[in-house]
Amino acid sequence: MSERHRVVVIGAGFGGLRVVRGLRDVDVEVVVVDQHNFHTFQPLLYQVATAGLDTDDIAYPIRGIFRRQRNATVRVAAVTDVDIGRRTVHTSRGDPLRYDTLVVAAGTISHDFGIPGVSDHTLPLKSVADAVAIRDHVLATFERATFDDQVGHALDVVVCGGGPTGVEMAGGLTELYDRVLRKDYPGLPVGEARITLVEAVDQVLSTFDESLGSKAAATLRKRGVDVVTGVPIARVGDGVVELDDGRRIDAGTIVWAAGVRAAPIADLLGVELGRSGRIVVGDDLSAPRHPEVFAIGDIAVDPERPLPQVAQPAIQGGKHVARQIARRLAGEPTERFEYTDKGSMATIGRNQAVADLPGGLKLSGPVGWLAWLGLHLLYLMGFRNRINVLVNWTWNYLTYDRASRLLAPSDD
């Protein structure tokens, strides 16, 4: 009796989950490989970083997701190599995994664009660990400042990158400072602390309609954020960001949300790579000359049809790839991936968000904010997580408090 067709899915993000779920009723063996044992809801990482949510609120155990899917197993391990000729994936734990179809959905990592000092002096925001590191760094900075006679720029923050992550991070920090830390540290000049958002192009949220980007910038400025646009970052030092125009911005915390590149696994495959090291794919999301290899989400790029690096292309791509695997097993040709743009959203804080939706519909202010809240609750994994997030958001809204500001013990 021949073995079942084995599909190895690398990455348990939005796209990877959709592939596995889409193969639930297909006669295949599915192995999910991820270095973490949980799925992360990345759009809310900034809320962990700004003490609005706990890590458990935005993470869900992978094994729990697929507990009832009989044809799926999980391997928690890092991918160390891929032998595309022998169709084998090597991992940090366990025997090599043979595959008949490989789906790469490993996402991206932070990218410094070769700017000096970024890797040494900034805090990225791409994972749960990154979010906790930012939160702990900010809280520890405040604790140290209580013993300093001269606070200087220790409480200041620079957020590098004016995309959705940077805008939401800057807005979240402003609320944390104004509503919470000002009360927690009455002896510190919290009101004098500067939060600066730096974007290299002329508009924050540059992929949104220009009017929405302008509204987002205006709202941030109204809330006390210094918004700097149209000036690239030249270099980053210890506690300082230097801009191309010669300006220097001192800060005790520097958050990097300015760019990403493909996860390192892309380099292991030996397939054609495109912009930012992303895997080049064809119309059906398979790699040229390797139809058994699919790539979806942020790690993939179709040079003829560039897609935004947000959740929806990964979700839709995952569903598409699952269908194509089923079609191949049935002896049918694969189909072209057709992406449906469902719009983009970004929140700027309490009662304020912008949404650029299909059909020219544009939302902002409280209406956009409510739409943002509802959509994120809808896509959050797990009923318990949805309830926890809703309770936390309600508490934060009614009390102007942030309950998730516990500082992990350290040797400092």
What does the alpha-carbon distance between residue 291 and residue 102 come to, in Å, rounded to a whole number?
9
**Alpha carbon distance 282, 289 (integer Å):** 10
DSSP 350-363: TTEEEEE-GGG-EE
* H helix runs in 146-290, sequence order: 164-175, 182-184, 210-222, 265-269
Residues labelled catalytic: 168
Q: How far apart are CA 298 and CA 386, in angstroms?
A: 25
Q: Beta 260-262 vs 225-229: how paired, if at all?
A: unpaired
What is the SS3 assignment for 94? coil
Residue 139 has phi, psi (to 5 degrees) of: -65, -40
Query: How is residue 175 written in tokens?
Result: 């609320």
Three-state secondary structure call for residue 196: strand
Q: How buried is 380 (Cβ within 10 angstroms: 0-12 exposed, 13-18 middle, 19+ buried)?
A: buried
DSSP bridge partners of 40: 59
Closest CA to 397 of 170, 179, 217, 221: 179
| Residue 398, burial from CB neighbour count under 10 angstroms (0-12, 13-18, 19+) | exposed
The answer to whether 50 and 402 have CB atoms below 8 angstroms apart is: yes
The single-letter DSSP state of residue 257 is: -
- Collect all residues with Cβ–Cβ distance below 8 Å to 222 and sequence separation of at least 6: none
Among 158, 126, 156, which residue's Cα sits nearest to residue 141?
156
Taking Cα atoms as reference points, which of 245, 238, 160 lies closest to residue 198? 160
Distance CA 194, CA 192 (A): 6
The Cα-based distances of 133 to 36, 223, 385 in angstroms read: 17, 25, 22
